[in-house]
Amino acid sequence: MMNIDVLSIFPEMFEGVFGHSILKKAAEKGAAGYNVVNFRDFANNKHQTVDDYPYGGGAGMVLKPQPIFDAVSDLKERAKSTSPRVILMCPQGERYTQKKAEELAREEHLIFICGHYEGYDERIREHVITDEISIGDYVLTGGELGAMVVIDSVVRLLPGVLGSEESHIQDSFSTGLLEHPHYTRPADFRGMKVPDVLVSGNHKLIDEWRMKESLRRTLQRRPDLLEEAELTEKQKKWLDELIKLNE
């Protein structure tokens, strides 16, 4: 089972997320366990303050090191885990990708630190965390929403969580490409028909159609992904044909 701890001064934000959908099912199946800790409880001052003014002046407040250092140490001791991945949700972190999700899904213990205010004391970065992650080039009020995104994307990759093991393998980005279009019944909806190949019963042609459409969609919407995608010779040939059609 993967143990997931979250440090946040707003732990109630996670109640709905962990109590529904895939994350709830993962907990019920014993694939993942969640623990949200208010790191304000670890503050060693009478008013339980976790932030202070930055040295050198400037706008905003900075999270103090002591509550987070002590909270992480406590979580490690309780879990008897000496090497968890300690993840700082931060706009300065590496941009989150499916590859990173797959990497984290191989871990046994993840600790997420969700900050607020202007930022973190730099000693937290230097001595506590193992990863800094950003879910995009924009700024959120706090790290909670970003942590929810990362946790959801990781937990769904754990063995036995999804109904079909092929589901996440075929997802967009898992193959380095965007996913092909999907259709369901009826085959003819208000004159809009499902492509003939999908109702042909010929699975070889269906697989080829899906791959070509995946390439087409990636070329149209995220051509940057093609620069690092590992394509077979057949896929490269199909891609060249698509590029020529678009010229």
Which positions are annotated as active-site residues? Answer: 91, 118, 156, 171
Question: Does the annotation list 146 as a binding residue?
Answer: no
Question: Based on C-alpha coordinates, what's the Rg of the chain?
Answer: 23
Question: Does the annotation list 135 as a binding residue?
Answer: yes
Question: Does the annotation list 30 as a binding residue?
Answer: no
Question: Does the annotation list 36 as a binding residue?
Answer: no
Residue 136 to residues 54, 62, 99, 222: CA-CA distances in angstroms?
A: 26, 22, 15, 16
Q: Side-chain half-sphere of 151: how many Cα atoms within 13 Å?
A: 36
Task: Look up residue 138 and give its two tokens.
Answer: 């924009």
CB atoms within 10 A of CB 235: 16
Give the strand order in the sheet containing 119-120.
51-52, 62-63, 119-120
Question: Does the annotation list 137 as a binding residue?
Answer: yes
Question: Does the annotation list 115 as a binding residue?
Answer: yes
Question: Does the annotation list 140 as a binding residue?
Answer: yes
Query: Annotated binding site: which residue ranges?
Result: 115, 135-140
Binding-site residue numbers for S-adenosyl-L-methionine are: 115, 135-140
